Amino acid sequence: MWGFSSLTRPTIKDVASMAGVSVMTASRALNNQPYVSAEAARRVQAAVEALGFHRNAFARGLPSAQSFIVLMLIGQGAPDLPGQFQRHAVERCRHLGRHLIVDRAPRDGDAVAYVEGLIDRLRPEGVLLWRPLADDPGVLAMLAARSIAFVRIDADPALSGGMVSIDHAEAVTTLVDSLGGGRAVALVHSESDTWLAKQRREAVLAAAGAAAGAATGNVRLCPAPSGDFGAGLEWGRRLAAEDETPALIIADRDELALGLLAAIKAQPAGRRPTLVCLEDTGSVRLVAPEVVRLIQPLEAMAHAALDMCIQHNPTAPVRFQSTFARSNGTGDASG
């Protein structure tokens, strides 16, 4: 005879045993999944009622349709920005009763197959995508076909799916207007062909040209294929050696900014330009407090992205206001 004391709660194994089915079949029946006969579903429901079975959050996360997992996929580049975002996402997941699992996109190989394999193993409620997967049409099409809620972070707004981002073009325009003042601007940039890299270059050209009341003659694009410290150092020395050093130098990567700073520091204080980095990383915050950084509201972005994922309601792109600030040398921002 089946019976439980007040201190013992029936489990899904008890339900399966009483119904005469496997645990997987019982789980499928409880979650209205396919491949369960009508008779088996009837026996499982009768066992649930007889035993007074109630699923808890952990039990639901085992073989059920709802895993209570959110998957975040980051790229192969510097992990600083996604790492800061992740801390806020973990806190939000705890509040929402979810678990965050983070994985890294493969450097080579079939990204679609890799992500689909993760989906099959983890069965997440939703997926947060960072570049490059956030801009991969194949990955986005696969997730949509499988009805997986996904939100892209700082990605191309022309592609499908929910998105949480700052307006990078507006941020660069505000920066040039406030610091450029119509003077010469140099953008030292990696030669990436991603949507974000292109948008930043176009925004600098447009903003600096408008500030100068001319086309784009006031802007100098300085390509740095390697995008590393050495390339930044070389460009810094070249720009500093010119008769008129640009009043504002913008770097799109932290390593370039650090190399530029090393070259600029060798110049007399009166000739040093304002240096801006479009990445907010620990190396720049702690090592180079002189550098103005682009700061994103990552806590608000993480909360919005998770709410969109869990509610399965990817709306129109959600954009947040960014700021620019210097560090006080301890990693904290100052105006």
What domains appear along the chain, each with residue ranges and CATH number? 12-60 (1.10.260.40), 69-165+297-320 (3.40.50.2300), 168-296+327-334 (3.40.50.2300)
Q: Considering only 94-98, 119-123, 143-147, 328-332, which range has the smallest mean pLDDT? A: 328-332
Burial of 2 (0-12, 13-18, 19+ CB in 10 A): exposed
CA–CA separation, 128 and 138 (whole Å): 16
Given pLDDT bands bounded at 50, 70 and 90, which one contains residue 61?
very low
Q: Considering only 71-80, 125-134, 144-153, 162-171, which range has the smallest mean pLDDT? A: 71-80
Interval 284-295 mean pLDDT: 88
Given pLDDT bands bounded at 50, 70 and 90, which one contains residue 210?
low
155-168 CB burial, b ≥16 within 10 A, e <16: bbeeeebbbbbbbb
User: Could you tell me which of 335, 246, 330, 249 has the C-alpha nearest to residue 295?
Assistant: 335
Interval 221-232 mean pLDDT: 93
Q: What are phi and psi of 317, to 5 degrees?
A: -50, 135
The torsion angle over the Cα atoms of residues 172, 78, 100 and 306, rounded to 10 degrees, is 10
Question: Within a 13 Å sphere around the CA of 56, how many CA atoms are in the beta-carbon half?
Answer: 5
pLDDT at 213 over 60: no
Query: Per DSSP, which regions of 231-321 are E strands?
Result: 248-251, 274-277, 292-295, 318-320
The reported pLDDT for the residue numbered 194 is 84
> Rounded to 5 degrees, what angle do the CA atoms 157, 161, 166 make?
40
pTM across the whole model:
0.73
pLDDT digits (tens, 9 = 90+) for 19-57: 999 877 887 787 766 667 888 888 998 998 888 886 554
Interval 156-167 mean pLDDT: 89
Given pLDDT bands bounded at 50, 70 and 90, which one contains residue 128?
very high
Hunting for tokens 């939100």 — which residue is that? 151
Whole-number average pLDDT of the chain? 83
The reported pLDDT for the residue numbered 282 is 86
